Chains A and B, each alone.
Chain A
Amino acid sequence: MMLRRLTPSAKAGMAVLFVIILAAAVPVLFTRVNPDELDIMARLSPPSAGHPIGTDHIGRDLLSRLVYGARVSLLVAVASVGGAVAIGVLLGLLAGYYGRWADGTIMRLVDVFLAFPAILLALALVAALGAGITSVIAALVLVFWTQYARVVRAVTLAEKEKAYVEAARAIGAGDVRILARHIFPNVLSPVIILATLGMGTAVVAESALSFLGMGVQPPAPSWGWTLAFGTRYLRDAPHIATFSGLAIMATVLGFNLLGDGIRDLLDPKFRPQ
């Protein structure tokens, strides 16, 4: 029912994401080649029948690298956004509901984290934690949680003053029950919108970190790494940088289109006239 009410561009975004999620879940549907298999004689070769979008600098099939790379990108996106949502929602609820020192402490912490440009903080954290998928996820959770905390706090502040919360309290509901059963459902809409758009941001952030050599480490098939290596062979093999970048952009575009569509649907202010 909800699907039918999505805008055409949101449906297009969903279609793109469906293909990418399918590639990540069942890669053999798209390629039979092992992403680590070397064909050194065919290194840097352009698209051909054997390698539909060419090979990389050590002769690995690029299509296979990108298909399996979708797993890495989506895993990082889901885990980092999931972690950020969990922390942000919990702290946002506590800050908004309890106010006073809880609000003061949590929001000052948010201010401190927001003092850093996002990619810079992620880079510095990964540099300290050591490159690798776990560090990337941990760093992105620490970078992203603030936006959820701020939004959830704002919604909680408004909701806790409403009559239904007072009514729940009057019939003996405790704080946990009020937060979980009454206020939490109201914060879901903005969180879903933010999280969908945030998945695209996480995909770019992971790729950027890998591009700078600080993300997921080889031989794991990361899109950012593949693109970084592609830049070294721009003159002889531009297909490497072109296709790996295209994979990243398609995924981000998918999340952005879907996120915009969900916002149009859930927030009446954005609903087309």
Chain B
Amino acid sequence: MSPLPLPRMVRYTTRRLLLLVPVALGAAVITFVLLLLLPGDPAIALLGQEASGPEIARFRNLLGLDRPVPIQLGLYLWRMARGDFGRSITLDAPVLRLILSTLPATLELAIFSITLAVVGGIPLGLLAARRRGTAVDTTTMLLAQLGVSMPVFWLGVLLILLFAVKLNWLPSFGRGAPLVAALVSGNAGLIMDSLRHLILPGFTLAFFNLALLSRLTRWALLEVLEEDYVRTARAKGQRERIVLYRHALRNALLPIVTIVGLQFGNALGGAVVTETIFGWPGMGRLVVQAIGQRDFPVVQGAVLVLALLFSLFNVLVDLTYAFIDPRIRYG
């Protein structure tokens, strides 16, 4: 498979990246509107009824709430563009610092969960496709159907119940040493501690994607196996293994790669629930805690950063797809 010609690829990449600008602007407007949606005076809604007059006035001035809405929006967008996300009301720290301190934990969990989903989901789908119509196929797809129907938070609770409460094998709360740092240190104890903390939240977050990937792999492979070139390969007398791995799987992998990329973005969103269940100190938990404490600058900043990361991953998926699939010709 030859990739797209370079100039065309550069043009396409630039265009896709430039399209991110209006999306980012729109996403920032939505996070701004969140503040307007708060019932009554946002300053009182954020500070509480017991706040004093001067406190409210200072706060209004701090957030620019004492100005007309279009000016507020302009100031907000300007601050966001400069990376100034304001200060947390409850933690009295810059929002950006809070985001940067929790982002690595979220990325670690998302990457670990996607790895689990790929390592488990693709072979299962392959197995089901190879044994199409047999009990193996039926059982695998039944499990996959259960997997995509199972609420993440319930799975998390069941895993805690079994592996933390009943068997006492794995911790149910918190994060060990950062995995990358543990791996770099080479300390086996640290690595084990890190992995032990990662397993339950990682598997919880991975399960839906694993089930979805196994279904998609089976479907994509069965589609490809119907193609003429597969029939030709078989007619040439090639062994089934070669037909499956060299001819069918390579082409079936294209939609799978796309979905894996999109799932990584979804894992960032899904982390909101998983991190809360397992007390994982990432951005998802930061958002939920900030919502509970009505700390809106944190909510706005964290939601915007997650949305930007999510959009960026989606663009990267598009680019990867265009790069590896020569059938796609973008103008």
Taking beta carbons and an 8 Å cutoff, which residues of A are in contact with B? 9, 108-109, 111-121, 123-125, 127-130, 200, 204, 207-208, 211-214, 224, 227, 230-231, 234-235, 238, 241-242, 244-245, 248-249, 252-253, 256-257
Number of interface residues of B (CB under 8 A): 50
Cβ contacts B265-299/A at 8 Å (1 or 0 each): 11011101100110000001001100110000001
Q: Which residues of B contact A125 (CB under 8 A)?
A: 34, 37
Inter-subunit contact B269/A249 (CB<8 Å): no
Instruction: Tell me the complex Cα distance, A114–B288, Å.
Output: 20
Inter-subunit contact A204/B276 (CB<8 Å): no
Q: Which residues of A contact B34 (CB under 8 A)?
A: 124-125, 127-128
Q: Which residues of B contact A214 (CB under 8 A)?
A: 291
Instruction: Tell me the complex Cα distance, A211–B154, Å.
Output: 10
Binding site secondary structure of chain B: helix
Taking beta carbons and an 8 Å cutoff, which residues of B are in contact with A? 19, 22-24, 26-27, 29-31, 34-35, 37-39, 145-146, 148-154, 157-158, 160-161, 165, 265-266, 268-270, 272-273, 276-277, 284, 287-288, 291-292, 299, 303, 306-308, 310-311, 314
Inter-subunit contact B151/A252 (CB<8 Å): yes
Q: Which residues of A contact B310 (CB under 8 A)?
A: 115-117
A142: nearest chain-B partner, CB-CB? B30
Inter-subunit contact B269/A115 (CB<8 Å): no
CB distance from B207 to the nearest CB of A (A): 12
* Selected A-B contacts with CB under 8 Å, 6 pairs: A115-B310, A116-B306, A117-B265, A123-B272, A123-B291, A212-B272
CB distance from A142 to the nearest CB of B (A): 9
Contacts A117-B307, A123-B288, A231-B277 hold; do A211 and B38 have CB atoms under 8 A apart? no
CB distance from A257 to the nearest CB of B (A): 7
Inter-subunit contact B153/A227 (CB<8 Å): yes
> When the two chains form the complex, which single residue of A120, A213, A248, A257 contacts B151, counting CB atoms closer than 8 Å?
A248
CB distance from B138 to the nearest CB of A (A): 10
Q: Which residues of A contact B265 (CB under 8 A)?
A: 117
Q: Which residues of A contact B266 (CB under 8 A)?
A: 117
Inter-subunit contact B30/A116 (CB<8 Å): yes
> When the two chains form the complex, which single residue of A111, A130, A234, A257 contacts B161, counting CB atoms closer than 8 Å?
A234
CB distance from B113 to the nearest CB of A (A): 14
Apart from the given pairs A112-B30, A115-B308, A257-B145, 18 other A-B contacts in the complex at a CB distance below 8 Å: A111-B22, A111-B23, A113-B30, A118-B269, A120-B269, A120-B272, A120-B307, A123-B272, A211-B153, A212-B273, A212-B276, A227-B157, A234-B161, A235-B165, A245-B151, A249-B149, A249-B150, A253-B149
Q: Which residues of A contact B35 (CB under 8 A)?
A: 128
> When the two chains form the complex, which single residue of A117, A130, A235, A253 contacts B268, counting CB atoms closer than 8 Å?
A117
Instruction: Tell me the complex Cα distance, A116–B27, Å.
Output: 8
Contacts A127-B291, A230-B157, A256-B145 hold; do A119 and B273 have CB atoms under 8 A apart? yes
Instruction: Tell me the complex Cα distance, A130–B38, Å.
Output: 8
Instruction: Tell me the complex Cα distance, A127–B31, Å.
Output: 12
Instruction: Tell me the complex Cα distance, A183–B185, Å.
Output: 63
A255: nearest chain-B partner, CB-CB? B149
Instruction: Tell me the complex Cα distance, A245–B152, Å.
Output: 10
Q: Which residues of A contact B154 (CB under 8 A)?
A: 227, 241, 244-245, 248-249
The 10 closest A-B pairs by CB, nearest first: A117-B269, A112-B26, A245-B154, A128-B37, A253-B149, A127-B291, A252-B149, A128-B34, A115-B311, A115-B27
A256: nearest chain-B partner, CB-CB? B149
Instruction: Tell me the complex Cα distance, A256–B292, Å.
Output: 32
Contacts A115-B27, A242-B158, A253-B149 hold; do A124 and B269 have CB atoms under 8 A apart? no
Q: Which residues of A contact B307 (CB under 8 A)?
A: 115-117, 120-121
Inter-subunit contact B37/A129 (CB<8 Å): yes
A135: nearest chain-B partner, CB-CB? B37
Q: Which residues of A contact B26 (CB under 8 A)?
A: 108-109, 111-112, 115
Q: Which residues of B contact A256 (CB under 8 A)?
A: 145, 148-149
Q: Which residues of A contact B311 (CB under 8 A)?
A: 115
Name the residue in B165, B273, B292 with the highest tally of chain A Cβ atoms < 10 Å from its Cβ.
B273
Q: Which residues of A contact B306 (CB under 8 A)?
A: 116-117, 120
B311: nearest chain-A partner, CB-CB? A115
Inter-subunit contact B157/A120 (CB<8 Å): no
A253: nearest chain-B partner, CB-CB? B149
Inter-subunit contact A119/B270 (CB<8 Å): yes
Inter-subunit contact B157/A241 (CB<8 Å): yes
Instruction: Tell me the complex Cα distance, A242–B151, Å.
Output: 12
Instruction: Tell me the complex Cα distance, A119–B306, Å.
Output: 12
Inter-subunit contact A253/B146 (CB<8 Å): yes
> When the two chains form the complex, which single residue of A124, A224, A230, A231 contacts B303, counting CB atoms closer than 8 Å?
A124
